[in-house]
């Protein structure tokens, strides 16, 4: 398959670069917002010391995720618990070689386990390599951002070809199965070679002993990539969570806080919080609403001091470390906004799982912030009980969701990052990230998938938005998208051109993205014969016409 081949080529090239380039040549170390002028006013990064027992493990076991949550992860900067699990389930492995053995040459740990034992991602992140790698047989590299803002990679080695269950570009969550233990490459028996690389495997980082880290130690600063760096060479998969904020879209002094707020929980991004703040206060300080809501995030005083069920602390905490937890402090208000949004999201996600509420989680979470989560539960979804739900809550949600893309970095949420001027190939690459995503009629748009998937124009809108760094916002239907860009003859069709088909009196009914060799990437509905549908590669149909939008 093309992606696997491409991924392995990238992986091999990157591996060679890591070996050849000394890490001191890395330019990533000095970039990134955390080392900028705002740094001295921030509380120390790094979280509590190793072994701090104040925070309990927070990853919810499920039937599919690894239940072997590591013990007592520490809080980082007070903004949220770490999300980590062991790479193999407790009881399925023994440590067969430790970090630093073989004269210091062993840069990870070896976990001996039966061939085929499930390997789990240890953290939320983005797959940046998945496939053949010298010595490892195959490897999987996942880039992540810790809650203390540090970038790190997790490396998994020795899987057989069939034991690599993720693709480059895919977003994974802590505890998600990603592969199976094998014995490929330089290996004398089935085992997982596992590394933790603060600073990033491809971005000048250095391996540390994974054992204390798996036990909850904060990710240290050993150089390499900074999370949320604006330097494309340093970013790779580190655009997740707080990196979702576009540069320069919020007042400069608030930017660091929205980035950090975006790391509080994976459900709530910094771009959503920024759009919400635009709606709440217009980023103006010192506001009190007629209803008594205060500050940047418009907290009611009673809500601000209410206890967050996620960690037992008030929603508004002393995030900026000035000794006072206050809705009037920028950092406290913004982190508090995120903590409250995350708590609402967690409650609503539980109701959704129980079938008591249906809809899109971000929309319902915003509705809960505005009308109270009780209104969401009572309505079984978007609040519809009283007049204010129609006149205030629903427009509030709509406004914020429509503003959110303006605040989102195009490569955000651990996804594809466009290169300047690389043209249509970028559209294909962006779409590749969503291969295998389910087909949902009316699903998707510039924000990515919605309601769990894409329809055809939803996918093209998402891919073109990402590839154009947010510059091109395609309309919602294939028919409307036919008005965008310019038509090119089929004989001149190039990778990344939009392929339209199913023409009727009003225009085309289908749209996909040309991927070369007569193939296109398209979100296709399940077939009448029972085929699954989803984002996939299909042949360009006979009646196709093409348009170029980038
Ligand atoms: Zn090893």
Q: How far is ligand 1, taken at its centre, from the CA of residue 181, in Å?
A: 12
* DSSP code string of 271-318: HHHHHHHHHHHTT-TT-B-TT--BTTTTB-HHHHTSBPTTTSSBSS--
How far away, in angstroms, is 263 Cα from ligand 1 center? 31
Check whether residue 432 and residue 402 sit in a common domain: no
Please report, rounded to a whole number, the percentage of residues in the chain having pLDDT higher than 90: 45
Give tens-digit pLDDT for 404-424. 888 876 544 433 444 545 578
| 68, 215: one domain | yes
- pLDDT at res. 237: 53
Return the pLDDT at 147.
63
In a domain, 263, yes or no: yes
Kindly indicate the confidence band of residue 61, based on its pLDDT and cuts at 50, 70 and 90: very low
321-338, pLDDT tens digit by residue? 788 999 999 989 998 999
214: its two tokens: 């798996």
Distance in Å, CA 236 to ligand 1 centroid: 24
Q: How far is the CA of 193 from the centre of ligand 1 (A)?
A: 4
Ligand 1 center to 55 CA (angstroms): 31
CATH code (residue 339): 1.10.530.10
Q: Are 126 and 265 contained in the same domain?
A: no
Please report the pLDDT score of residue 83 as a whole number: 66
Looking at the fold, whether 230 and 256 belong to one and the same domain comes out as no
| Residues 78, 144 within the same domain | yes
Same domain, 372 and 401: yes
* Within a domain: 319: yes
* SS (HEC) of 139-192: EEEEEEECCCCEEEEEEEECCCHHHECCCCCCEECCCCEEEECECCCCCCCCEE
Residue 97 sits in the same domain as residue 180:
yes
Q: What is the pLDDT of residue 305?
A: 95
Per the CB < 8 A criterion, the answer to whether 380 and 312 are in contact is no
Tell me how far the alpha carbon of residue 81 lies from the centroid of ligand 1, in angstroms. 29
User: For residues 141 and 128, is the Cβ–Cβ distance under 8 A?
Assistant: yes
Domain count, the chain: 3
The CA distance from 226 to 443, in Å, is 34
**Do 116 and 138 belong together in one domain?**
yes
| 486-490-496-502 Cα dihedral, nearest 10 degrees | 80
| Residue 226 binned pLDDT confidence (cut-offs 50, 70, 90) | low
Residue 8, pLDDT > 60, answer: no
The reported pLDDT for the residue numbered 288 is 92
Tell how far the Cα of 106 is from the centroid of ligand 1, in angstroms.
6
| 48 alpha carbon – ligand 1 mean position (Å) | 30
334: left (phi over 0), alpha (psi -120 to 50) or beta: alpha
- Pair (179, 302) in one structural domain: no
The mean pLDDT value for 61-88 works out to 47
Angstrom distance (rounded) from CA 50 to CA 70: 13
Q: Is residue 419 part of a domain?
A: no
Highest mean pLDDT among 234-248, 456-470, 523-537: 456-470
The domain that holds 31 is classified in CATH as 2.70.70.10
Query: 433 C-alpha vs ligand 1 centroid, how far in Å?
Result: 30
Q: Is the pLDDT of residue 160 over 60?
A: yes
> Does the residue 413 lie in any domain?
no
Residues recorded for the chain: 550
Q: Of the candidates 235, 263, 295, which is a domain's last residue?
A: 235
Contacts of 9 (CB under 8 A, 6+ apart): none
pLDDT of amino acid 410: 54
Alpha-carbon distances of 73 from 70, 192, 315, 404, 475, rounded to whole Å: 7, 23, 20, 32, 45
H/E run at residue 31: none
Residue 495 pLDDT: 92
Q: Report how far ligand 1's centroid is from the alpha carbon of 113 (Å).
A: 13
| Lowest pLDDT segment from 65-69, 308-312, 387-391 | 65-69
The answer on 172 and 199 residing in a single domain is yes
Q: Span 383-412, mean pLDDT? A: 87
pLDDT beyond 90 at 210: yes
Give me the domain span that covers residue 258: 247-407
More confident residue, 59 or 500: 500
Verify that 344 and 267 share a domain, yes or no: yes
In angstroms, what is the span from residue 149 Cα to ligand 1's centroid?
27
Looking at the whole model, is its pTM more than 0.75?
no
Going from the Cα of 16 to the center of ligand 1, the distance in angstroms, rounded, reads 18
């Amino acid at each position: 398959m093309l992606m696997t081949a491409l991924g392995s080529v990238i992986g091999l090239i990157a591996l060679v670069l890591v070996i050849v380039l000394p890490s001191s040549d890395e330019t990533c170390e000095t970039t990134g917002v955390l080392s900028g002028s705002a740094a001295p006013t921030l509380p120390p990064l790094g979280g509590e010391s190793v072994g701090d027992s104040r925070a309990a493990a927070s990853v919810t076991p499920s039937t599919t995720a690894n239940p072997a949550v590591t013990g007592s992860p520490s809080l980082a900067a007070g903004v949220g618990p770490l999300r980590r699990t062991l790479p193999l389930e407790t009881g399925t492995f023994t440590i067969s070689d430790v970090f630093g053995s073989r004269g210091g040459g062993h840069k990870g740990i070896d976990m001996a386990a039966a061939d085929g034992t499930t390997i789990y991602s240890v953290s939320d992140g983005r797959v940046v390599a998945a496939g053949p790698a010298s010595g490892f047989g195959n490897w999987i590299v996942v880039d992540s951002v810790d809650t203390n803002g540090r970038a790190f990679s997790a490396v998994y080695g020795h899987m057989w070809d069939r034991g690599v269950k993720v693709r480059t570009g895919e977003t994974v969550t802590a505890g998600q199965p990603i592969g199976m233990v094998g014995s490929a490459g330089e290996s004398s028996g089935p085992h997982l070679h596992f590394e933790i690389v603060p600073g990033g495997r491809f971005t000048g980082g250095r391996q540390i002993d994974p054992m204390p880290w798996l036990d909850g130690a904060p990710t240290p600063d050993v150089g390499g990539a900074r999370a949320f760096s604006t330097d494309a060479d340093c970013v790779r998969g580190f655009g997740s969570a707080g990196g979702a904020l576009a540069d320069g879209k919020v007042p400069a002094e608030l930017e660091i806080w929205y980035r950090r707020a975006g790391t509080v929980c994976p459900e709530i991004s910094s771009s959503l919080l920024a759009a919400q703040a635009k709606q709440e206060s217009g980023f103006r300080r010192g506001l009190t609403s007629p209803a008594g809501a205060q500050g940047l995030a418009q907290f009611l005083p009673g809500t601000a001091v209410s206890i967050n069920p996620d960690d037992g602390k008030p929603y508004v905490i002393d995030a900026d470390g000035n000794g006072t937890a206050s809705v009037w402090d920028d950092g406290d208000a913004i982190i508090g906004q995120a903590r409250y949004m995350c708590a609402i999201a967690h409650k609503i996600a539980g109701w959704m799982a129980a079938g008591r509420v249906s809809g899109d989680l971000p929309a319902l979470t915003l509705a809960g912030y505005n009308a109270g989560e009780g209104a969401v539960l009572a309505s079984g979804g978007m609040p519809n009980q009283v007049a204010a739900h129609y006149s205030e809550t629903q427009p509030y949600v709509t406004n914020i969701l429509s503003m959110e893309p303006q605040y989102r970095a195009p490569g955000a949420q651990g996804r594809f990052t466009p290169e300047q001027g690389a043209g249509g190939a970028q559209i294909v690459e962006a779409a590749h990230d969503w291969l295998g995503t389910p087909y949902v009629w009316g699903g998707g748009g510039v924000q990515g998938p919605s309601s769990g998937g894409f329809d055809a124009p939803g996918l093209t809108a998402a891919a073109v938005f990402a590839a154009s760094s947010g510059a091109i916002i395609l309309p919602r239907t294939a028919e409307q998208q036919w008005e965008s860009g310019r038509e090119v003859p089929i004989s001149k069709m190039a990778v990344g051109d939009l392929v339209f088909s199913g023409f009727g009196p009003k225009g085309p009914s289908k749209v996909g993205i040309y991927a070369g060799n007569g193939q296109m990437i398209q979100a296709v509905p399940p077939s009448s014969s029972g085929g699954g549908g989803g984002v996939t590669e299909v042949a360009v149909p006979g009646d196709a016409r093409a348009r170029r939008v980038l």
